[in-house]
Amino acid sequence: MLLIDDDLVSREVMATVLAMSGYTVHTAAGGEESLELLAGGECVPSAILMDAQMPGLRGTRLIEGLRAHSNASIFVVSASNAPAEMVAAADGFLLKPLTADGVQKLLQARKHKSARSGSLNRSGPVAAAPQIVDPAVSPTILAQLREMMPAAAVRQIYSAIVADLDRRIGALEAAVAKGDADEVRRIGHAIKGGCAMAGAQQAARLGALIESGVLESNDNQKDNASRVIGDLHAAARRLESMLEAGFPE
């Protein structure tokens, strides 16, 4: 399986979940890198998971390039709805947070569709329903991670999420200060995707708000940005508290 995602946290969490479920996983940080892997014969995947929003080569152009280099089924993965033309060009669609069970169901649906049609016709979107929960971490996703890997590995995942959040909060503050709306939205998207993968739903929800443009759509922009960034900081600290309580070193 080839996993393509520009966000390091999302990519590592998804790869870990899939690998612990028995999949052999190759990863690429972008479209260009994925085509180089395929062209070089470094991996010959039966399935490709690609993030819907990445810089550089992406979307339908990336799907066309992947099909030119591979016979694998191609599935679009996103923390929100993907463009209709991208979903139509792919073989299926999965909403983050990604689970091994969701991937397995998508692959089975694709296999059955191909068997019935006798061809490689597109199967259309098959979406895994996202979870909306209030705790700092989704109990369901946390339980799944605990079952799949040692406690030390789970702690490492959430420690990486906290560190990434702190780094992005600093970048977000700088982007807001510069009035760089595109960068603010990009950071929000990255927070949403990475945190949703690990079930850090509070932070993921705030990332989605930031991506939606909430920081530049309010008349009291400065106060609004301060409040949202403060909430994001609080979400990171709640994750730290969860680590200290549930995964003591």
pTM of the model: 0.56
What range defines the domain where residue 240 resides? 139-246
Q: Does residue 110 register a pLDDT over 70?
A: no
Q: How many domains does the chain have?
A: 2
- 82 assigned to some structural domain: yes
Same domain, 99 and 166: no
Same domain, 148 and 239: yes
Query: What backbone phi and psi angles, to 5 degrees, belong to 172?
Result: -65, -45
- 111 assigned to some structural domain: yes
- 131 assigned to some structural domain: no
Same domain, 101 and 167: no
Instruction: Say which CATH number the domain at 51 has.
Output: 3.40.50.2300
pLDDT in tens, 54-96: 999 999 999 999 999 998 999 999 887 888 889 889 988 888 7
Distant-in-sequence, close-in-space partners of 230: CB < 8 Å, separation ≥ 6: none
Instruction: Answer with the residue of higher pLDDT: 144 or 116.
Output: 144
Residues 101, 129: Cα–Cα separation, whole Å: 12
pLDDT in tens, 156-172: 888 999 999 999 999 99
- 239 assigned to some structural domain: yes
When mean pLDDT is compared over 15-24, 129-138, 166-175, 194-203, the highest value belongs to 166-175
- 93 assigned to some structural domain: yes
Same domain, 163 and 107: no
Same domain, 106 and 14: yes
Structure-token pair, residue 50: 């690609």
